[in-house]
Amino acid sequence: MKNKYKVTFKPMNVSIHVPEGESLLRAAILANVHINASCGGNGTCGKCKVILESGKINNITVMNLSQEEIKDGYYLACKVIVKDDIIVNIPIESQLGDKKVLIKDSKGIHRQPTQILSPEIIEDICKPDPIGKKYFLELAEPTLEDNISDIQRIIRELKNRYDIQEKDILVNNKVLRQIPYVLREARFKITVTLLNYKDKVILSRIEPGDTTHMQYALCIDVGTTSVYALLIDVTNGKILTEASDYNAQLTCGEDVITRIVFAQRKDGLSKLQGLIGETISNLANVVVDKCGITLEDISYLVVAGNTTMIHLLLGIPPQYIRETPYVPVSNTFPPTMVEELGININSHAYIYIIPSVASYLGGDIISGLIACSFTTRKEVCLYIDIGTNGEMVLGCGDWMVACSCSAGPALEGGTIKFGIRATEGAIEEVRINPLTYEPMILTIGQKKPIGICGSGLIDTVAELFECGIIDQQGKFYTHLNTEYIRRGESGFEYVLAFAENTDIGKDIVLTETDIEDLIRAKSAAYAGIKILLQNVGLTFDDIKYIIISGNFGTYVDIQKSITIGLFPEVPKDKFVFIGNGSLLGTRVCAMSKDMMETAERIANSITNFELSENKDFMDEFIKGLFLPYTDANEFKGVMDRIAISQRFGR
């Protein structure tokens, strides 16, 4: 846990505690203190000047500061890293004057995700009993009186010592080919790896000597955009290290649909399979290097991903996932040797795939449900994972209903004029001064802005709405007199950053069309949730927790999301962020064959609603094409706050 420090902004005397390492600019955003900032935290616009009153810092950036300013203790807020309790004064030019600093609601739980499942509490979910385990065997050496076959000698010992029955042991020829040499090299003291498969075990490896202290599993979340890896010590379930990388398939298309189309080309499928195989082996190399072990030490992999990604990984044609009635080839997959998939890790490891439910309800969701112990919950919960598709599961240990709705790529930056993925330079947080309408933006990596990502988009639209810049339909009020609101090529637009402060040499704007796209996206997601509730006759009040999974969920501002009507207006303590639930679930499954079986069981038992031609869904979708919603009673708090804010602001 990082140290936290208190940052106090003067003259308004607002304080906030932030973790060591945050920038002052970010602290201001978290505290809802407005400091001018146009370049995303890059230091180039020079607007976010503050004066240090107390506290130690080691800032050496003098860029955009005059000699006199330096002497007077001026700093750029975006370049000051918090590592002490600090008091700063915001000079008038950064402040926009007394009245202009507003203190809005605190940010809720954004950036402080409460993981439902901490690594330490896997034991609470299940007795740790990994799907793969090593057994050290000291075998009697063969004699003329006892010259049973090598494998029989191993099986006999497994039965005598561990009560594992011969009929349950599957042996492949690969292992048989090594057995005679390893046995004799090791003078019949060996370690075998047994991997669970249905009600049997696969004897996947034989090693000389006792290597039971060296048992590792690689957990992988295969996303359409990014791939995440965890290296697990199977002996105790601990995470040793993690790594992530872009999915190398990105070169063949950004989203699931373009990948499926690519797979239909000649050799397209095998190219895609090769690329994801490369990504996984690269990650495997990274994590084993970090931990000083070798690729050979990995006993097995557990992989979760959406249904298309899994098809591509296994080289199975995904074509019919895309065409109505959206049929995948399979939702469950047997453990397969990584080698067979062209993944260059080692010759013995098997890959386990978390099962899916349907074409658009993948193993990543099932994995997430496992991660938050959805299957053992008594109270009704809602699990949401939003990206291009919004997947949601409502239920508890006894029953689950689910659906997936195509939110469109807006929430991931797609279709938006300056939309980009959440990469360096993407505007991810935005505040708008309700008096001057000037934006305060923060980019990922504090680079000069190059575009806007999902969370930035939600922030912007929510702020535009709260500041009275756009109406309930997302249309600009045209009477506002500011350079930030203007008529562009295709209707009105809001300027988030002028060309000189960007890294793309162009003004970064949000257009009315962009806002429409976002509204459609949020409406689709919200409609999905409503349909699930309607189908089981429940309301939002019946939901104990709303569990938000996924990268998008991690960085999105919960209050802003409610403001635009993406999430329902329920008490904020009902929201729980679990980060990458899919990845967490792979770890749980890696450490528990029961949970792996549970994954299969729930994948089979979830009732999935196909929404694509569902009339109720269409009705709900249309109702959602407003900010925050047609029926203001569903978002009373938002409407009240906006009324106050706008009255106060203007």
Which of 613, 615, 633, 647 is close enough to bind a copy of itself by CB under 8 A?
613
Q: How far is the CB of 318 from a copy of itself (least distance, A)?
A: 9
Which of 241, 319, 344, 482 is close enough to bind a copy of itself by CB under 8 A?
319
- Burial class of 434 by CB neighbour count within 10 A (0 to 12, 13 to 18, 19+): buried
Residue 259 or residue 377: which is nearer to a copy of itself going by CB?
Answer: 259
Q: How far is the CB of 260 from a copy of itself (least distance, A)?
A: 12
Number of residues that bind a copy of itself (CB under 8 A): 50
Q: How far is the CB of 342 from a copy of itself (least distance, A)?
A: 12
Distances in Å between the Cα of 140 and the Cα atoms of 184, 189, 393 are 11, 9, 54
* Residue 649 backbone dihedrals phi, psi, to 5 degrees: -70, -40
- Burial class of 631 by CB neighbour count within 10 A (0 to 12, 13 to 18, 19+): exposed
The DSSP code for 98 is G
Q: Which residues of 141-166 are buried (b: 16+ CB within 10 A; e: fewer)?
A: eeeeeeeeebbebbbbbbeeeeebee
Q: Are 605 and 369 in contact (CB under 8 A)?
A: no
Q: Are 628 and 635 in contact (CB under 8 A)?
A: yes
CA torsion angle 358 359 365 370 (round to 10): 40
- Burial class of 492 by CB neighbour count within 10 A (0 to 12, 13 to 18, 19+): buried
The DSSP code for 90 is -
Residue 24 or residue 603: which is nearer to a copy of itself going by CB?
Answer: 603
Give me the 353-392 binding string for a copy of itself, x by CB under 8 A, dash otherwise: -----xx---------------------------------
Count of helices and strands (H, E) across the chain:
19, 27
Which span sits near a copy of itself by CB under 8 A: 22-30, 92-100, 312-320, 641-649? 312-320
Which of 9, 333, 577, 626 is close enough to bind a copy of itself by CB under 8 A?
333
Q: Are 221 and 214 in contact (CB under 8 A)?
A: no
Which of 67, 236, 324, 633 is close enough to bind a copy of itself by CB under 8 A?
324
Q: Is 633 in the site for a copy of itself (CB under 8 A)?
A: no
The residue behind tokens 């708090």 is 637
Question: Which of 273, 299, 277 has its CA nearest to residue 288?
Answer: 299
Which span sits near a copy of itself by CB under 8 A: 31-39, 141-149, 253-261, 382-390? 141-149
Which of 334, 473, 573, 619 is close enough to bind a copy of itself by CB under 8 A?
334
Q: Which residues of 199-236 are buried (b: 16+ CB within 10 A; e: fewer)?
A: eebbbbbbbbebbeebbbbbbbbbbbbbbbbbbbbbee
Which span sits near a copy of itself by CB under 8 A: 18-26, 138-146, 219-227, 460-468? 138-146
Question: Which of 109, 30, 106 has its CA nearest to residue 545?
Answer: 109
Which span sits near a copy of itself by CB under 8 A: 284-292, 327-335, 396-404, 530-538? 327-335
Q: How far is CA 157 from the centre of its chain?
A: 45
Residue 147 or residue 236: which is nearer to a copy of itself going by CB?
Answer: 147
Residue 206 or residue 394: which is nearer to a copy of itself going by CB?
Answer: 206
Which of 20, 124, 340, 471 is close enough to bind a copy of itself by CB under 8 A?
340
With left for phi above 0 and alpha for psi between -120 and 50, is residue 519 left, alpha or beta? alpha
Q: How far is the CB of 347 from a copy of itself (least distance, A)?
A: 14
The residue behind tokens 């979760």 is 304
Residue 46 or residue 142: which is nearer to a copy of itself going by CB?
Answer: 142
- Burial class of 444 by CB neighbour count within 10 A (0 to 12, 13 to 18, 19+): buried
Q: Is 616 in the site for a copy of itself (CB under 8 A)?
A: no
Residue 1 or residue 144: which is nearer to a copy of itself going by CB?
Answer: 144
Scan residues 395-454 and list those touching a copy of itself (CB under 8 A): none
Residue 152 or residue 539: which is nearer to a copy of itself going by CB?
Answer: 152
Q: Are 196 and 131 in contact (CB under 8 A)?
A: yes
Q: Are 395 and 333 in contact (CB under 8 A)?
A: no
Q: Hey, CA dihedral for 228, 224, 504, 477, is it positive or negative?
A: negative
Q: How far is the CB of 331 from a copy of itself (least distance, A)?
A: 5
Q: How far is the CB of 150 from a copy of itself (least distance, A)?
A: 5
Q: Which helix (H) or strand (E) holds 593?
A: helix 593-605
Tokens of 357: 């439910």
Query: How are beta strands 200-208 and 169-171 bridged, if at all?
Result: parallel
Which of 81, 329, 536, 570 is close enough to bind a copy of itself by CB under 8 A?
329
Q: Is 605 in the site for a copy of itself (CB under 8 A)?
A: no
Tokens of 517: 């796209």
Residue 179 or residue 416: which is nearer to a copy of itself going by CB?
Answer: 179
Q: How far apart are CA 414 and CA 474, in angstroms?
A: 18
Q: Are 510 and 452 in contact (CB under 8 A)?
A: yes
Which of 276, 314, 444, 464 is close enough to bind a copy of itself by CB under 8 A?
314
Question: Which of 75, 73, 52, 51 has its CA nearest to residue 64?
Answer: 75
Scan residues 150-209 and list those touching a copy of itself (CB under 8 A): 150-152, 167, 170-173, 176-177, 179-181, 184, 198-200
3-class SS at 246?
A: strand
Q: How far is the CB of 140 from a copy of itself (least distance, A)?
A: 12
Which of 330, 415, 554, 630 is close enough to bind a copy of itself by CB under 8 A?
330
Residue 184 or residue 636: which is nearer to a copy of itself going by CB?
Answer: 184
Q: Which residues contact 491 (CB under 8 A, 6 or more apart)?
A: 476, 511, 512, 513
Q: How far is the CB of 616 from a copy of itself (least distance, A)?
A: 14
Which of 320, 342, 344, 498 is close enough to bind a copy of itself by CB under 8 A?
320
Q: How far is the CB of 354 from a copy of itself (least distance, A)?
A: 15
Q: How far is the CB of 320 from a copy of itself (least distance, A)?
A: 5
Q: How far is the CB of 277 from a copy of itself (least distance, A)?
A: 13
Residue 356 or residue 511: which is nearer to a copy of itself going by CB?
Answer: 356
Q: How far is the CB of 322 from a copy of itself (least distance, A)?
A: 11
Q: Is 317 in the site for a copy of itself (CB under 8 A)?
A: yes
Q: Is 143 in the site for a copy of itself (CB under 8 A)?
A: yes
Q: Is 310 in the site for a copy of itself (CB under 8 A)?
A: no
Q: How far is the CB of 404 from a copy of itself (least distance, A)?
A: 12
Q: How far is the CB of 4 from a copy of itself (least distance, A)?
A: 48
Residue 113 or residue 317: which is nearer to a copy of itself going by CB?
Answer: 317
Which of 13, 147, 478, 481 is close enough to bind a copy of itself by CB under 8 A?
147
Site residues, a copy of itself (CB under 8 A): 142-152, 167, 170-173, 176-177, 179-181, 184, 198-200, 314-317, 319-320, 324-334, 336, 340-341, 358-359, 610, 612-613
